[in-house]
Amino acid sequence: MKHAHLLLILAVLCTTACKKDEIDLSSLTSNPFDAEYNGDPIFAMVDQETVEQTISGVVQQRLNVTVSVRSDLFPIATSYQVRAVRGSTTQVFFLNAQDHDRFVVSVAGVSPGDVECWSLQLGNAGEFGGGNDVCGTAE
């Protein structure tokens, strides 16, 4: 009878102890290269300027937004890509340490007060993961 009690206790202990070992996928959101990343923003606007430019004799305003990448959030130091999508326009930037984790997105034909936004995603090896939106205002 003593052994039966022992086995029962062992079974209960094992059942309770074993239950915690599975990985809850919804909790795996800490890697910026994961499409389901849910941590601090990876991209942040550090500067914006509106410049005039003449194309084919037409003068227009261009908004340049400088974006920095929080590479300190990366699990390891690595080169990476950034995909910037604005409407139907997609730009892809290849960055490494020499770029000081900065790049510029721009849009032409803006008017003062226009707010332009880009959906930015961090990528590697042709696949893209987490990201966030960055916006700039034309002057």
Partner 1 sequence: MFRSLASLFIASCFLPVCAQETGTLRMLIDPGHDFSFIVDHKHRMQQREVKLSEGLHHFSIWAPERVIVDTTVFVIADRTTDLLLRLPFSADHLEYRKQLANYQTKKRWVRTVPIVAMAGGLVWSGISIGQYGKAKKALDKDRADYEINVDPGTLSTLKGSTIPAHNADLKKARTSLIGGLAFTAIGAGATYYLFRLTSKWDRPLFDDREKVRFDGMAWIPGAQGGILMAGLTIDLSRP
| Site residues for partner 1 per CB under 8 A | 1, 3-4, 7-8, 10-11, 14-15, 18-19, 21-23, 25, 28, 30-31, 33-36, 74-76, 78, 80, 122-129
Instruction: Kindly tell me which of 22 and 52 has the beta carbon lying closer to partner 1.
Output: 22
Instruction: Kindly tell me which of 12 and 55 has the beta carbon lying closer to partner 1.
Output: 12
- Shortest Cβ distance from residue 70 to partner 1 (Å)? 14
- Shortest Cβ distance from residue 76 to partner 1 (Å)? 6
Instruction: Kindly tell me which of 99 and 139 has the beta carbon lying closer to partner 1.
Output: 99
Please state the separation of Cα 127 from the chain's center in Å: 12
Instruction: Kindly tell me which of 103 and 128 has the beta carbon lying closer to partner 1.
Output: 128
Is residue 130 within 8 Å of residue 37, measured between CB atoms? yes
Q: Which amino acid is at 127?
A: E
- Shortest Cβ distance from residue 42 to partner 1 (Å)? 12
Contacts of residue 68, defined as CB under 8 A and 6 or more positions apart, other chains included, come to 43, 44, 45, 46, 101, 102
Is residue 50 within 8 Å of residue 61, measured between CB atoms? yes
- Shortest Cβ distance from residue 22 to partner 1 (Å)? 5
From residue 91, give the alpha-carbon distance in Å to each of 13, 38, 106, 118: 55, 23, 10, 10
How far apart CA 65 and CA 82 sit, in angstroms, is 14
